[in-house]
Amino acid sequence: MSTLLVRITLLVVCYHLPVESSYNYYNFYRHYAPSTVAFTVSKNTNQEFSETGNVEFDHVLTNVGQAFQSGKNEIKIPTTGLYFFGYFAPGEDAGKGNVDLVKNGEVMLSSMGVNGGKVAVLFVQRGDIITLQARKGSLLVSTEDSQKVAFTGYLIKRGSFDNKY
């Protein structure tokens, strides 16, 4: 029985691998990197920041392509391409909702205030880290009624582009 299982497994693995002579890492990546990446996460509780840090999300609505890393509260890009990102981060008052969209430690966009939020289309590469960070002194408010901190993103088109900016 185990010999039959090994033969079937080898047949399935060999069937899925391309047999091109030019098969290399690029072709492997093209065939096996997720072609669909989409995530939406939210926060159901308030969070106060005594130091600048990542917003801690406690509810995952969608995580296609496994980009959202819940233990780190970050997005690890699985597929190079053009992505849409958007967030809504309501603060307690005008001075308490200071939030940044950060790519590999560099601030891409900032928002502040009671109804802070932004959207962006960014070129990102596989392995890039995207986070939503609140600045020191921020108090993000999430209520059960309607107002929740939310972060969403999806892959628009995979691949690299000549004009990245």
Quickly list DSSP for 49-104. -SS-EE----EEEEEETS-EETTTTEEE--S-EEEEEEEEE-BSSTTS--EEEEET
State whether 16 and 87 are in the same domain: no
Instruction: Judge whether 163 lies within some domain.
Output: no
Q: What is the pLDDT of residue 89?
A: 84
Instruction: Judge whether 164 lies within some domain.
Output: no
Q: What is the pLDDT of residue 144?
A: 67
What letter would DSSP give residue 8? H
State whether 60 and 2 are in the same domain: no
Q: Structural domain of residue 1, as residue ranges?
A: 1-32
Contact between residue 68 and residue 143 where contact means Cβ atoms under 8 Å apart: no
State whether 11 and 89 are in the same domain: no
State whether 106 and 134 are in the same domain: yes
Per 3-state DSSP, the chain is made up of helix, strand and coil in percentages (nearest 5) of 15, 40, 45
Region 119-146: what's the mean pLDDT? 87
In DSSP terms, which residues pair with 42 in a beta bridge? 59, 150
Listed range (13-17, 78-82, 132-136) with the worst mean pLDDT: 13-17
Q: What is the pLDDT of residue 142?
A: 74
State whether 66 and 88 are in the same domain: yes
Residue 3: band (very low, low, confident or very high) from pLDDT cuts 50, 70, 90? very low
Instruction: Judge whether 90 lies within some domain.
Output: yes
Q: What is the pLDDT of residue 9?
A: 38
Give me the percent of the chain exceeding a pLDDT of 90.
Answer: 41
Residue 20: band (very low, low, confident or very high) from pLDDT cuts 50, 70, 90? very low
State whether 28 and 45 are in the same domain: no
Region 18-37: what's the mean pLDDT? 55
Question: What region, left, alpha or beta, does residue 66 occupy, with left being phi > 0 and alpha being psi -120 to 50 degrees?
Answer: left
Residue 151 has pLDDT above 80, yes or no: yes
Domains held by the chain: number: 2
State whether 76 and 9 are in the same domain: no
Instruction: Judge whether 105 lies within some domain.
Output: yes
State whether 97 and 46 are in the same domain: yes
Instruction: Judge whether 165 lies within some domain.
Output: no
State whether 47 and 113 are in the same domain: yes
pLDDT in tens, 97-113: 788 999 999 999 988 77
- CA nearest neighbour of 92 among 51, 142, 126, 127: 142
Q: What is the pLDDT of residue 145?
A: 64
Residue 150 has pLDDT above 80, yes or no: yes
State whether 81 and 131 are in the same domain: yes
Q: At residue 164, what are phi and psi to the nearest 5 degrees?
A: -90, -5
State whether 18 and 95 are in the same domain: no
